[in-house]
Structure 1
Amino acid sequence: MKIIGLIGGISWVSTADYYKLINEGVNEKLGGLNFSECLIYSFNYADIKKNNEANDWDSTFSMLLKGCEFLKQGGAKAIVLCANTMHLIADRLQEAIDLPVIHIAAVTAAEIEKQGLKKVGLLGTKFTMELDFFKDKLIAKGIEVIIPISEDDKDFIHTTIFEELGRGLVTDATKKRYLEISNQLIQQGAEGIILGCTEIPLVIQPEDLSVPIFDTALLHSKAAVDFQLS
């Protein structure tokens, strides 16, 4: 089994999900007492958030590079960034660390292509929704991506990711609003909805919508398991 390195703490909630999903995935394939051989470097989310809000991605890059180097020294053969937004610097990290960084958008795009969908809605932080690093992986496969039109809706998603979901907090009101936004995208022609933040599965489950959802944390974890056992 190849050792993988997880960059976590962004947030701890989704990092715990990754650890659970990856271990379950390895055990499902190998059985017995076989589980994932992995390392985790977990950051203080407040430090990352402060950098990002200041648009200081260089500082975030330096922090994550330090974590990646720690994991590489520990024997990791690939890096898993346990957050969608951090993939803004994934290619840069991969080049600097000289290890594969399993890209969350690439594995999501592959699954959407496999299902034959041509137009999907994307929910996530404003970085993920508005910048190109995630959408480009989908567009390259001929998949159209739409995001909420309303600035209020985008602000709501962005804020609740950090202030609620990233702290493990879930309310009925927040879930209702997420579903309303998702259904607006479906009315605009979305054939599926990408949960483009690893905490959004806290409020959107497959049975909640009339179209397929793409749980990026789940898809990313499966790709990590495939790498470990390749």
Structure 2
Amino acid sequence: MKTIGVIGGMSWESSAEYYRLLNRYAKARLGGHHNARSLMTTVDFAEVEALQRAGDWDALGVQMAQAAAQLERGGADLVLLATNTMHRVCASIEAAISIPFLHIADPTGAALKAAGVSRAGLLGTRYTMEQDFYVGRLRERHAIEAIVPNDRDRESVHRIIYDELCHGVVEDDSRRVYQRVIDDMKMRGAQAVILGCTEITLLIGPADSALPVFDTTALHAQAAVDWTLSGHEA
């Protein structure tokens, strides 16, 4: 079994979910007492969030590249970045390591295509919804058109992520906000909804959505386990 390296801490709530899912999927594949071989390096989200607000993506790229290199030195065979937003600096990560980096948008795009979805609503931080690093990758590599909420709703979605979900706070009122936003994207032609922030799974599950849910955290973790077990199953 190969070793999965995880850059975590953005936030630690979603990193804990990654750890749970990686081990659950490995056990489902291998049975018995098996779990995933993994390493995690955890950054300080307070520093990351401040640099995000300042728009200092160069500094964030350096920090993520250092974390990825640390994982490679520790023996990782594959690197995962346990956050959607910080894939904004994936080029810096890929340049810093010689082992593969699994981009979170790729298993999501593959799953959408397999389900026959060509237009999907996207929920995430405002960086993920408004910048092209995620929407563009879905469009160019997977032929998926991403529909994002309007300005006011993007602000609400973003605020709930940072002020509540990143602190492990799950409010019914916030769930209703997300459900209304999903309903609006459905009316605009979305065939499914991408939970494009790793904390959103704390708030929204399949039973909460008027559209089929594509959970980037679960899809990313599943793809990592599939990769690391290729040719290594008992």
TM-score bracket for this pair, using the shorter chain length: over 0.9
**Structure 1 residue 55: Cα displacement:** 0.5
How many residue pairs are counted as aligned between the two chains?
A: 229
Partner residue of 2:225?
A: 225
Partner residue of 2:213?
A: 213
Instruction: Please give the root-mean-square deviation of Cα atoms over the aligned residues, in Å.
Output: 1.0
Partner residue of 1:146?
A: 147
Superposed CA offset, 1:45-97 (max 9, x none): 10000011101011111111121111111100111000000111113311222
1: CA distance, partners of 2:28 / 2:91: 30
2: CA distance, partners of 1:216 / 1:165: 16
Check the 8 A contact 2:79/2:101 in 1, yes or no.
yes
> TM-score, normalization: structure 2?
0.95
**Structure 1 residue 118: Cα displacement:** 1.3
State yes or no: 1:192 paired with 2:160.
Answer: no
Partner residue of 1:84?
A: 84
Aligned residue runs from structure 1 range 1-230, under 5 A: 1-140=1-140, 141-149=142-150, 151-230=151-230
SS in 2 for 1:32: coil
**Structure 1 residue 99: Cα displacement:** 2.0
**Structure 1 residue 10: Cα displacement:** 0.3
1: CA distance, partners of 2:184 / 2:220: 26
Superposed CA offset, 1:152-183 (max 9, x none): 21111111111110111011111110110111
SS in 1 for 2:127: helix
Deviates more, 1:115-124 or 1:63-72: 63-72
2: CA distance, partners of 1:99 / 1:156: 38
Whichever residue aligns with residue 122 of structure 2, its letter is L
Runs of 4+ in 1 over 3 A off after TM superposition: none
SS in 2 for 1:221: helix
> TM-score, normalization: structure 1?
0.97
Whichever residue aligns with residue 148 of structure 2, its letter is I
Deviates more, 1:93-102 or 1:213-222: 93-102
SS in 1 for 2:41: strand
2: CA distance, partners of 1:91 / 1:27: 32
2: CA distance, partners of 1:68 / 1:142: 29
SS in 2 for 1:180: helix
- Percent sequence identity over aligned pairs: 40
2: CA distance, partners of 1:66 / 1:209: 38
Superposed CA offset, 1:24-61 (max 9, x none): 10011001111111100011110000011101011111
User: Which blocks of at least 5 consecutive residues in structure 1 are unaligned?
Assistant: none
**Structure 1 residue 100: Cα displacement:** 1.3
